[in-house]
A and B are shown apart, each in its own frame.
Chain A
Amino acid sequence: MEFPKELKYTKEHEWVKVEGGVATVGITDYAQDSLGDVVYVELPQEGGAVTKNEAFGVVESVKAVSDLYSPVSGNVVEVNDAIIESPEAINDDPYGDAWMIRVEVSSSGELDDLLTADEYQKFIQEEK
C-alpha cells in the first residue's frame, strides 16, 4: 500500500495536495482497499463551497457506502467528472487519475492539522 510523502492526509482517509492555494482532494489507497470495488461516486458541483471536516460527497463500493470529508474549506474550482463515469479508477489509481475535487483554499491555517504520510500510516496501523 502506498502513501506518497508529498501528500497530506486526514483521519477520514482523504489525501490532499496543495499547490498555489488550490487543494486537490481524493481518497487514500487504504480507503479504496477497505471499500473494495467502487461503483458509484457523488461529487459537488463546480462553483459550490465545501467546509473542512464536512461531507462533500459520497463513495460507494458494492458492499459499503462512505461519506467523503473535505480536508479544507473553500470554493470548488474543478470536479473530476471522469470518475463519475468510471468509478473503478478510484481503485486503480487513487492518487492520480482518481482525484476528486480541486478547492481554492480559503484559509491556509487549515492545513496545519493535516497528517503527514508517516503520521497517517501510524494512524491506520492503530485503527486496524
Chain B
Amino acid sequence: MKELEQAKTPLYREHIALKAKMVDFAGYLMPVEYTGLIEEHLRVRSACGIFDVSHMGEIEVTGRGALAAVNLVATNDASRIKDNQCQYTLVCNADGGVVDDVIVYRFNAERFLFCVNVSNTDKAFEWISRQANADAVVRNVSPDYAQIALQGPKSVEVLKAIADIDPGAIKRYHFTVGEVANISAIISRTGYTGEDGFEIYLSPLGAPAVWKAALEAGTGFGILPVGLGARDTLRLEMGYPLYGHELTDITTPLEAGLERFVALNKNEFIGKDALKRGFAAGPEKRLIGFNMLKPGIPRQGYDIMVNDKKAGSVTSGTYSPMLRAGIGMGYAASGLIKDIEENGSGLKIMIRGRPSEARMVKPPFYKKEALTC
C-alpha cells in the first residue's frame, strides 16, 4: 500500500535547513520546534518570532453578491467593517454549531477573503459555496497563498526593514497590500499570540525570499523561527480557542463564550434562530479557563471535577512558559460552574487519575500591558 504523501509548505526546505523538528499536522509536514519550545515562546513575548502558517486555508468570495454571501455564513456583521479591515467571525451550521472560526478580510464590497483553519479548508469551502447566492463566486484559493506570521513587540521594526509600506501605520485588525522583500503581499496586523504582529499572505514562490529576508532583518531584534508547539502555548496563554478543541460542529459560540462575535441584531444568517434560542435559554455547558494550583499539567481529555463530581473535560491544556504553571480550558456544566463561582473553589482536574486543585480564571491567563496600536 502506498503511503499518503504529506503536503509540504513552500518553506519546507527552510525548516530543514534550520534543523526544525517536523511533525504531521492535518496532512502537512510542519515544524513543531526549532531551538526549543520555551525559548521560542518567550522570544515572541519579548522580541519577535517568525512562523510558517502556509498550511492555513484561504477562500475568496467575489462579485456583486459577495457581501450578502459573507453575511449569510458569518455570525459577525461583515457590513460593519470597512475596506482594508478584517474581522474575526464564526461560521455556524443551522443548529448553531461551529463549522469554522475564521478571519474575514474585506478588500471592498465585492471582494472578501476568509482565512480558515487547515483542517476545515475543504469543509468550509464546501459550506460557503453551497450557501452562496447567484451573484457571488466562491473559490478555494489556498494553493495561491503561502502565509508567514511575524509576532512580538519587535515585529513592526523587523517588517519595516523589509517592506515598502509603513507597517506601523496599519491599525490592529486592518490590512494593506504592499511589497515585502520585493514580493507583493497582503499584510494584516493580526495574529494568534496576543502580541502585536502581522500576518503576511503571499505567493508560494515568493515565500522563501520573504522568510529569509525577515530572519536576516530580524537578527538585530532577536528574531527566532517559531514552531507549532509555541504557537499553541502562545494562543493558550491568551485563552484563544482552537478549532477541534474548544470549537466543534456541536459546540456553539455562546457555549464557547464568543457571543461578542455573534451579531444577533443583523439580518438572517445561518444558525441565527438556534443561537437566539440558545441565548434566551442560556447554555447548558460553558467554556472555562483554569490555573493549576500545584505542579502538574492538564491535558486534553482529562476530567474536570466540581465538588468531586465530573463536570466536563479539558479541551486544551499545557504548561504556560510565562506563568510557569499548568493552565487549561474545558467545558463544564453551567450549573456546576455557578457552584464554583459561589464557593470560590471546588474545582479539580483529574491528572492521571488523581484530583489536582485548580482555580477558575477568566482568560487571558497571561496579561500584559494593553497593545498601543
Which residues of A pack against B, CB within 8 Å? 36-37, 39-40, 58, 60-63, 65
Contact = CB atoms under 8 A, between A and B. Distances in A.
B46 interface: no
A40 B297 contact: yes
A41 to B, nearest CB: 9
B355 to A, nearest CB: 15
A26 B56 CA distance: 40
A62 B319 contact: yes
B145 to A, nearest CB: 28
Report, as a range, how many residues of chain B touch the other chain: 10 to 19
Contacts of A40: 295-297, 319
A62 B296 contact: no
Contacts, number: 35
The 3 closest A-B pairs by CB, nearest first: A37-B38, A39-B319, A62-B319
A99 to B, nearest CB: 20
Interface in B17-54: 21, 32-33, 36-38
Given A37-B36, A40-B295, A58-B352, 18 more contacts: A36-B21, A36-B32, A36-B229, A37-B37, A37-B38, A39-B38, A39-B297, A40-B296, A40-B319, A60-B297, A62-B37, A62-B38, A62-B318, A62-B321, A63-B32, A63-B229, A63-B232, A65-B297
Interface in B181-234: 229, 232-233
B106 interface: no
Contacts of A65: 297, 299, 352
B297 A36 contact: no
A62 B323 CA distance: 13
A36 B36 CA distance: 7
A115 B248 CA distance: 45
Contacts of A37: 36-38
18 contacts: A36-B32, A36-B33, A36-B36, A36-B229, A39-B319, A40-B296, A40-B297, A58-B352, A62-B37, A62-B38, A62-B229, A62-B233, A62-B318, A63-B32, A63-B229, A63-B232, A63-B318, A65-B297
